Amino acid sequence: MANHLDSFFGAMADPTRRAVIERLVGGPAPVSELHAPHDMALPSFLKHLRKLESAGLIRSEKQGRVRMVHIEAAPLAEAEHWLARQRRLWEEQTDRLESFAKSLDVASKKD
Amino acid sequence: MANHLDSFFGAMADPTRRAVIERLVGGPAPVSELHAPHDMALPSFLKHLRKLESAGLIRSEKQGRVRMVHIEAAPLAEAEHWLARQRRLWEEQTDRLESFAKSLDVASKKD
C-alpha cells in the first residue's frame, strides 16, 4: 500500500504524465496520438510512459503496427480513497473544534 | 494549478511525509511529536517538513518554546478534486462502452 502510493503520487507529480492520464480516461489511444500534443522528443516522452507503466497506471499492447495504451483505474481510486480519508478526518477534527467553541460560548453565557 | 499539483503530488510521494499529514489531520502538533515515530535524524526530518511547507500543505508557528505545525487542507481538496474528475470521466467512458456493447447485443438478436 505504501509503495503503491509512493509510485502513484510520484507518477502524478509531472504535468506531461497527468496530461496522458487526462487523455486516457476518455479511452485508449495509440502512443503517437498521446505524444502529439507534447513538444518533446519521442524518447523523452516514452520515459514518461514507462514511469506511468511502472506505477501500474497504464498498460499497452501491440495492435498490428500500432501500440495502444490503456489506463488502469485502480491506482487512481486508491489514491482518491487515501485523500478522501484525510479530508474526512480533518473535517471531523474541525467539527469537534467548533462544538468545543460553542460549548465554551454557552458556558460563558451562563456566567 | 499545474504547479500546485506538481508540488502536492511530489510532496505526497514519500511515506514519512504522508505519515505527517495523517497525524496532522487529527489536529496541530509540535515538531518533536511529529518527529518521534520516525527513525530518522532531526535534520532529515526537518527537510521533509520544509518540503511539505513549500507545497503549501503545512504551516508552523512558534508558541513559546515550541514550534507548532498545522495542516493546510486546501491542496488536499484540490488533488482529491482532480482525481475524482479523472475517475468520473473514466466511468462515463466505461458506461458508454457498456451501452454500445448492449446496443450491439440487441442488434444481433434482431438478426
Q: What is the mean pLDDT of residues B12-18?
A: 97
Helix runs in chain A, H state only: 2-12, 15-24, 31-35, 42-54, 74-110
- What local confidence, expressed as pLDDT, does residue A78 receive? 92
Q: What is the pLDDT of residues B16-60, one digit of tens each?
A: 999 999 999 999 999 999 999 999 999 999 999 999 999 999 999
What does the pLDDT read at residue B15? 96
What is the pLDDT, as a whole number, of residue A111? Answer: 63
CA distance B81 to chain A (A): 9
Identify the CA nearest to A5 among candidates B46, B72, B9, B88: B9
Domain B2-110: state its class.
mainly alpha
Tell me the pLDDT band of B2, cut-offs 50, 70 and 90. low
pLDDT > 70? residue A35 = yes
Question: Structure pTM?
Answer: 0.86
Mutate one of A1, A7, A9, A38 to test the B interface: name it (highest B CB count within 10 A): A9
Residue A37: alpha-carbon gap to chain centroid? 21
Mean pLDDT of B2-15: 91
pLDDT band at A2 (very low <50, low <70, confident <90, very high): low
B69 contacts B30 by C-beta, under 8 angstroms: yes
- pLDDT for res B11: 97
Parse chain B into domains and list their residue ranges. Answer: 2-110
Q: Measure the CA angle with vertex A6, ends B17 and B59; round to 5°.
A: 20
Question: Over the stretch A6-30, which tens digit does the pLDDT of each residue have?
Answer: 999 999 999 999 999 999 999 999 9
pLDDT at A99: 82
Average pLDDT over residues B52-81: 94
C-alpha cell at B15: 511515506
Residues of A in contact with B75 (CB under 8 A): none
Which residues of chain B lie closer than 8 angstroms to A93, CB-CB?
Answer: 25-27
Residue of chain A whose alpha carbon sits nearest to that of B82: A80
User: What is the complex's ipTM, to 2 decimals?
Assistant: 0.84
**What pLDDT is attached to residue A100?**
77
Are A14 and B6 inside 8 Å of each other by CB? yes
How many angstroms separate the CA atoms of A101 and A76, rounded? 37
pLDDT band at residue B97 under the 50/70/90 scheme: confident
Q: Note the pLDDT tens digit of each residue in A40-97.
A: 999 999 999 999 999 999 999 999 999 999 999 899 999 999 999 999 999 998 888 8
Check if the beta carbon of residue A55 is closer than 8 Å to that of residue A10. yes
pLDDT at A105: 81
